[in-house]
Structure 1
Amino acid sequence: MLSNSFHSQAEKNYQNRSFKGKDLSLEDFSNADIRGCDFTEANLTGANFRGAKAGLSQQGIYRSLLIAAALSGLAGAAATLAVGQPIALMTPKPEPIVPFMVSFIVGLIVIFVNGILLISSLKNGLEKTIQNLGITIAVLIPVGGILAALGNAKTPILSELRVFRISYLMNSNQIGNPIPALIVTLTASMGATLTVIFTLALAIAIATITLNKIFKLLIIVEALAIGIIASAIVTRNADDRVFEVFSVVNGEPAPLPAIITLIALVILSIILATILILVSSNIGNKVLKEEEKYSIIRQFAIAISAWGGTSFVKANLTQAHFNQALLKSTDFSDANIKHTRWYQAEKLEWAKVGNTILENAQVRELLVSLDGYRKTFIGLNLREANLMNANLEYANLRGSDLSEATLETANLEWANLTQTQAIGTNFKEARLTGSYGLSTWNIDSTTNLLWVNCKFIYLLEYPKPATDDRERRPSSGEFGPDEFTKLFQEAIDTVDLIFREGVDWRAFIYSFKKVQVENSETELTIQRIENKGDGVFIVRVQVPPETDKAKIHQNFTQTYQETLQTLEAEYQDKLKIKDSEIANYRERSSNMTEVIRLLASREITQDRKFIKKSPLVVGKLVILKIIKGDFKTGFTVMLQLGQDGMLPTTEISGSLPPFPELEATYQQWKILYHKLQLPVRISGRKVNLFSSEDVCKESAKLLEKHLKIWLKSEEFYPLKDRLQQKLNSTDEIRLILQTEHPTLLRLPWQVWEIFEHYPKAEIALSLPQYDQVESVNLNLPRTRVRILAILGNNQDINVQKDRAILQQIIGADVTVLDQPQRLEVDVHLRDEIGWDILFFAGHSLTEKESGIIHINPTDYLTISDLKYSLRFAVNRGLKLAIFNSCDGLGLARDLADLQIPQIIVMREPVPDTIATEFLKYFLLAFSKGKTLYTAVREAREKLHAKEDQYPCASWLPIIFQNPAEMPLIWDDLRGLSSTITDGKTSLEDLAKLRELFEQNLDLSPLEQANILEQLQALFQIVPMPPSELKQRLGSQSLMVIKGTIADFPPTSEFKQQCQQLLSRIGQDIL
């Protein structure tokens, strides 16, 4: 780690420091000057380089600029050679070996070839041009040999071809052979031209990377000056030969033709040198634009520019952050850049990135901008890339490799994911609505699809022939919460056995059992059977994540085909037997219908049995204990999780960090909210919002934001992560927050994002101390819910609406005390029969954490005043208290001390309309069989629609729970819950169950036959009197049926209906 002295430096100047091989994980280099630093092979996991300045130190910059200047000078000199060679051939000589016209034509040819070379370099790039030149030379050499072989002195035409012979080439000076001059001049000039192109383009790139565009212009000017001046001087030095050709005597004026010729040659040399240098500088600009055809020059420029710069060679940069960092002249060669963040990094294109995914310009640009909207990334290597929050809407990712990349919260809507590799990819909370081609994307159990936001997808990239069907999923409507995840998670850990010509179930069962035996170390279970029509069946077999799926598929296919051949001879006989069995079954079913009718109409003579029962829906219980601490020092937290009614199976401790701003934000919101409602629970008319409504809403948004930030903190993440691992979106979840801290009890926990992902979850509050209360069994069964309703002081509010709602409840006896005296309240609470629900509507408040209710215009009562009477009512079966009044947390705390199982209060002042609407929505859902928690959540969510007029209305209702008690349903009321086991209802349920199984096409004939056999047994078992035999036989049949439907998805309507019916039948039998 870095020393403290480093951290204390305001500038964080680490120039030229060596951290080679050191462990600097999670180190903070943000906004630091790390130019010239050596991080070779260092461990920089999670390090923060945000805004850091990397690259060359001042010394390195000087070195690079000297190299660029030297290359520019070399380019100018090479330009002189490239131009001087053809100009020399075109210059008249007094005693030429080769005739002047021949020499002049050769010079023009050299210029022409150099022109082609320049054009080719512009069009095809330097590398391709050199390759083409090599191919041309390779072809010309054997052609010259062939021409030399054809040379013949006896034939006038062929005799001229002897100039290509080696002996003629070696004696060219004696015999005036122009070929060697052409070859030598052409080779030297072309080599010089290529040198100019390469060196000047390289110098321009180095100058721009190292410094800026101004120095780039100086480099061009340097090359241009050297090339022009040197070419002109060399050409001018040929004046003696020109004047001699025109017979100029020393000291005499040169004739006009000689002067014109010399001037023309000088101008031509200047023009040619200028063209060559300008074209080469243009190529240098193309190098800076990262054109692929000049990649070789770019690689040289980057390598030279990174020499002595910041080095991350072979460093571990996993999850490191380079956001907004300056990275030119930096060496990332062979670095581990898994999930490294490059967002808005500057000059990354001028970093050395060998053997990383950053070598591809498209990949590099995407990682820096995170903007892939409507762009094409076909076949790109994005393995281990950090694309969190990237916009890939409408992007074409066909065939790309996203393995182990993180696309958390990325936008992939309408993206083409055909044949995309996504093994180990993190799609957590990504948006995938409308994405297509998912039938061919490659995912496995390591692919994270948690909380993917998706309404629908398409399995195919293109529609089926002659249709517009791309196999939409779901076929209609939209995915529910986490249904997308479940759809593909099932596909991940399964082997699909496809039967295109129907299924021989006997062969299937034999083959499947044989494969199970041969792979005994692997658990193989049939997840589902799908009938696709036209004889096509898909049997989906669930396997562990690490299973070799190809092996399982091959083993089964081979065994199935062999078994089919064995059974082929006897298959017709089996079909005849099957037809006979079906006829017999239909006859038995007809007879059984009559039996059912007789049993259903029979008089029930058994005594009624009253037994304690739990809700039909067994959900999950989560207890979040915030044990000690405050907002300035943080809180100690413990999470317990398990099945409702059972001991916790998971427990993990953690913490919430200090966050005093959250408490201050709540207090500010509370002040603004209280100003909205004066007086509280205003009757019928709109709440007087004054001018502070918008301010209150903004304050509420800030409070919600701060609470979410707090619950996303790093310290709390392990608890949240464990919670997400253990819960399913289909679970009914009670989350109980257990704390004594007053502000924590008042925070709007319902806005926690966990409740968005789990639609059947609801929160309740609890104090750390609680006990289970045993109710007194007075053997006073009743079939109606008893409600004691106290309507208190109704000044400025309309509590009669509450009365009307209560009295409309079917199956309830409501006793109303309208503005009673204290004695009247006491007497009724002590009713010997007992009450199921205690209801209060009127004015209330909390003072010093205790609650006060106004029972009439003059009398106030605390819960302590009613302590003994309430305790009596609890002992007589009171299970629920509803205080539909303002600021009820003090009341809830006092009632919780009396161990009332469930309490519903309003945690802040509540408008009259909201109180009435909540009561109506809640009782409607609760009395129809919803659990207490589900009913409260549904009622709260309906209040959300009224928040334009009544801000934060859905925050107000809250459950206060005794954790020792099970969640309530309506049937749990009526004193001690009762179930009448008369047998008639169960027979009706059995008939419904049989009808469901007969209509289900996803079951195999063998499964249907087995189920119907078990149902037939249950028809005989249900009418039996209670006994151990009835329980044993009934439980066996129920287990077989439950095992058959276990493989259906939890969201299947068929499975849910079966489970509901089986639950009722099971209660009767067991």
Structure 2
Amino acid sequence: MSAVAWVFLGVYLSWRSLSGYKNFVLIQKFSIAIATIGGTNFQRANLVDADFTHAVLKNTNFTAANVTRTCWLNTKQLDLARVDQTYLDNSQVRKLLITGEGHDKSFDHLFLRGIYLRGVNLTEASFIGADLSEASLQDANLSRAKLKQTQLDGTDLTGACLTGAYIEDWGITSDTKFDGVRCEYVYMHLPTKENPDPLRKPDNRQEVFADGDFGDFIKPIVDTLDLYHNQGVDPRAIAIAFKKLAEDYPDAELEIVAMEKRGENNFLLRAKTVPETDKSQLSAEYFDTYNSLKVLSQQELKVLIAEKDIQIRRLENMVMTALERPSFYSNTSIEKLNTMTNNPGGISQNVSGGQVYGMQSMQGNQNEQSINNSITNYTPEQRQNLAEAAADIQQLLQQLEQTYPTNTPLEKQVAVTEALRQIESNTTLKTRVIGALKAGGTEALKELLDHPLVNILLAALDGWQEV
């Protein structure tokens, strides 16, 4: 009688464990480990691109094997094989690989690197935060699939269908293959009840991507250096830090390809680089510079900008434009920062999802438009204020040059900082300077001053007329 009881108990435990019941998973693993002793052994074997279609895999040991792009379609008794340290350890993944059916299934945050899903039905499947790098998704149906933050480095999507897929912040690179991808439209964000079709591309809902268009649309923004700012945005600091990065790493061939406002206070700057660039190093150095600039006062930043060329001001204006107009997306190179001086005109590249705002349309401002104004255009009182303020500033700069060298940019900045300090501490002089700025602005004073530091000082004084 006891023997019969033991038989029934063994059958019950085996059924529970092989069904994946939580309390019996350890029993299942132990049973399979014992059963695979003496069976076919692929432990730590290189099974890259191997094909086990229709194979019977009971008691086979695949522990820690390299199963990159290994085909498991229609295999039998794979659940009786030892699959520790591989993606096969997940029962839902095994079922997907065996049946080729993943419609409306969730694979969020799973490590699926190198998985073979060629021709698999993955419509409406969710891969949020999953790693599908180096996977084979050739001819797979990913219609309406959720690919938010999905890693796709080196993934083969040749011939796959991506119509209606949600691709928010997905991790594609220059090694991701899009040859022959079939896609009529995609969504740049996940859907919500309030917005079931968020940020559709193409924007016109009556239009769809023609054959081959999606690859052309998505490829220019791959392999980018993504500089994400989530601690407040300082356009001037961004402009200076990026310009410095481009100068320090000319071999990286940095090209801005996109600027985008994220949420209320966050900002993303994307720059294309050459493939062999160490993006981690570039990002670290950029943010080291950016964060050090953010703690400087506005006057100190203006001094730095004045010491540099007009490129920083132009880039600053572009950042501000992107922040004010969240539809500022660019999928082509905006401009090489290190060639700006050779192309002082506007930008002519196409933009998807927004409008291009050219350099010419952004660089105009009231100061530049008043460069040719003459002091004779002002009232007698304004002329007197301007003349007196200019004379005081000229005298102050001449005094400072006797004790402050101005041979290097840093020395010039020190001299100008001292000039600002003395103006601030002299109430009469400060009042006179503010009055002159209100009367004619910095450009009017520039007409009356003759000193190597005048441009830097007036850049720092810009804005005092609002005091």
TM-score, normalised via structure 1 length: 0.27
CA drift at 1:344: 0.6
Q: Does 1:327 align with 2:57?
A: yes
For residues 881-938 of structure 1, give each alpha carbon's deviation from its aligned partner in whole angstroms, at most 9, with x where no partner exists. xxxxxxxxxxxxxxxxxxxxxxxxxxxxxxxxxxxxxxxxxxxxxxxxxxxxxxxxxx
1:445 pairs with 2:170:
no
- Measure, in 1, the Cα distance between the counterparts of 2:239 and 2:14: 71
Partner amino acid, structure 2, of 1:425: T
Q: CA deviation at 1:321?
A: 1.0
526 and 322 in structure 1: CA distance in 2 versus 1, 3 angstrom threshold: same
Q: d(CA) in 1 for partners of 2:263 and 2:12?
A: 65
Aligned equivalents of 1:485 and 1:395: distance in 2? 22
1:568 paired with 2:307, answer no
Closer, same or farther: CA 539–349 of 1 in aligned 2, 3 Å: closer
Flag the 1:448–1:563 CA change in 2: closer, same or farther, 3 A: same
Question: What amino acid does structure 2 have at the position aligned with 1:359?
Answer: D
Q: Contact between 1:528 and 1:1002, CA under 8 Å: does it hold in 2?
A: no
Aligned CA distance change for structure 1 residues 301 and 510 (closer, same or farther; 3 Å): closer
Distance apart, 1:558 and its partner CA: 4.8
Q: Is the 8 A contact 2:110 2:130 kept in 1?
A: yes
The letter of the residue matching 2:122 is L
Q: Residues 495, 356 of structure 1: CA spacing in aligned structure 2 closer, same or farther, 3 A cutoff?
A: closer
| 1:514-538 Cα deviation digits (max 9, x unpaired) | 2122223422123355689999976
Q: CA deviation at 1:478?
A: 1.8
Aligned counterparts, 1:618-637, within 5 A: none
Tell me the CA shift for residue 474 of structure 1. 2.2
Preserved contact between residue 293 and residue 301 of structure 2 (Cα < 8 Å):
no
Matched, 1:481 2:219: no
| Separation of aligned partners in 1, 2:347 and 2:102 | 53
Cα shift at 1:475:
1.9
Aligned-residue offset at 1:345: 1.0
Structure possessing the higher radius of gyration over alpha carbons: 1
The residue number in structure 2 matching 1:460 is 189
1:323-722 to 2 correspondence within 5 Å?
323-436=53-166, 438-463=167-192, 467-468=195-196, 470-476=198-204, 477-497=207-227, 503-504=235-236, 510-528=240-258, 539-560=269-290, 565=296, 568=299
Displacement, 1:560?
4.9
In the other structure, the counterpart of 1:753 is none
Which amino acid in structure 1 is aligned with residue 99 of structure 2? S
Q: Provide the residue aligned with 2:393 in structure 1.
A: none
Q: Deviations over 1:857-879 (max 9, x none)?
A: xxxxxxxxxxxxxxxxxxxxxxx
Deviation at 1:550, TM superposition (A): 4.5
Is contact 1:393-1:411 (8 Å) kept? Answer: yes
Alpha-carbon distance in structure 1 between the residues aligned to 2:127 and 2:259: 32
- SS of residue in 2 equivalent to 1:527: strand
- Residue number in structure 1 paired with 2:16: 286
Q: Deviations over 1:42-90 (max 9, x none)?
A: xxxxxxxxxxxxxxxxxxxxxxxxxxxxxxxxxx7xx4xxxxxxxxxxx
Give the length in aligned residue pairs: 317
> Measured at CA, do residues 510 and 994 of structure 1 come closer, stay the same or move farther in structure 2, by a change above 3 Å?
closer
Instruction: Give the letter for the 1:1004 counterpart.
Output: M
CA–CA distance in 2 between the matches of 1:296 and 1:427?
37
What is aligned with 1:303? 33
CA gap 1:291/1:546 in 2 versus in 1, 3 angstroms: farther
Taking the aligned partners of 1:432 and 1:284, their CA distance within structure 2 comes to 42
1:1003 aligns with 2:358: yes
Query: SS in structure 2 opposite 1:358?
Result: helix
Shift in CA distance, 539/296, structure 1 to aligned 2, threshold 3 Å: closer
Alpha-carbon deviations, 1:475-516, whole Å to 9, x = none?
A: 222223333323433332223456876844xx6654433212
Kindly indicate whether the alpha-carbon contact (under 8 Å) linking 2:347 and 2:358 is maintained by their aligned counterparts in 1.
Answer: no
Q: Secondary structure at the match of 2:256?
A: strand
Measured against aligned partners, the alpha-carbon deviations of 1:211-244 in whole angstroms (never above 9, x if no partner) come to: xxxxxxxxxxxx31xxxxxxxxxxxxxxxxxxxx
Structure 2 SS opposite 1:372? coil
- Maintained 8 Å contact 2:58/2:76: yes
Matches of 2:126 and 2:347, distance apart in 1:
48
Q: CA 1:380 to 1:571, structure 2 compared with 1: closer, same or farther past 3 Å?
A: closer
- For 1:419 and 1:292, the matched residues in 2 are separated by 30
How far does the alpha carbon of each residue in 1:250-294 deviate from its partner, in whole angstroms, 9 at most, with x for none?
Answer: xxxxxxxxxxxxxxxxxxxxxxxx5x7645533332233333432
1:40 alignment partner in structure 2:
none
C-alpha change, 1:468 and 1:390, in structure 2 (3 Å) is: closer
Identify if the C-alpha distance between structure 1 residues 408 and 496 changes in structure 2 by more than 3 Å, giving closer, same or farther: same
Partner of 2:386: none
Q: Distance in 2 between matches of 1:536 and 1:1003?
A: 23
Q: Whole-Å Cα distance in 2 between the matches of residues 537 and 310 of structure 1?
A: 54
Aligned-pair identity in percent equals: 32
Q: Which amino acid aligns with 2:285?
A: N
Structure 2, unpaired ranges of 5+: 311-344, 365-467
The structure-2 alpha-carbon separation of the partners of 1:303 and 1:526, relative to structure 1 and needing over 3 Å to count, comes to closer
Whole-angstrom distance in 2 between the partners of 1:308 and 1:558: 58
- 1:368–1:503: structure 2 CA closer, same or farther, 3 Å change rule? same
For residues 557 and 281 of structure 1, what CA distance do their matches in structure 2 show?
A: 62
Q: Which amino acid aligns with 2:357?
A: D
**How much has 1:302 moved relative to structure 2?**
2.1
How many angstroms does 1:393 deviate by?
0.7
Residues 557-577 of structure 1 deviation map (CA, whole Å, 9 limit, x = unaligned): 554565674653696999xxx
SS of the residue 1:568 aligns to: helix
Q: Report the aligned-residue RMSD.
A: 3.8
Which one has the bigger strand percentage? 1
Other structure's SS at 2:250 match: coil
> Contact conserved, 1:305 with 1:329, CA < 8 A, in 2?
yes
Q: Distance in 1 between matches of 2:264 and 2:357?
A: 14
How far apart, CA to CA, are the structure 1 residues paired with 2:104 and 2:276? 36
Alpha-carbon distance in structure 2 between the residues aligned to 1:560 and 1:387: 43
Q: Distance in 2 between matches of 1:517 and 1:307?
A: 62
Query: 1:119-138 counterparts in 2 under 5 A?
Result: none
* Residue aligning to 1:165: none
Report the alpha carbon displacement of residue 1008 of structure 1 after superposing the two structures with TM. 6.3
What SS class does the counterpart of residue 252 from structure 2 fall into?
A: coil
Report the CA distance shift for 1:489/1:996 in structure 2 as closer, same or farther (over 3 A): closer
Q: Which amino acid aligns with 1:461?
A: L
Q: Residues 517 and 371 (structure 1 numbering): CA distance in 2 closer, same or farther, change over 3 Å?
A: same
TM-score between the two structures when normalised by the length of structure 2? 0.58
* Cα-to-partner distance string for 1:760-787 (whole Å, 9 max, x where unaligned): xxxxxxxxxxxxxxxxxxxxxxxxxxxx
Structure 1 counterpart SS, 2:147: coil
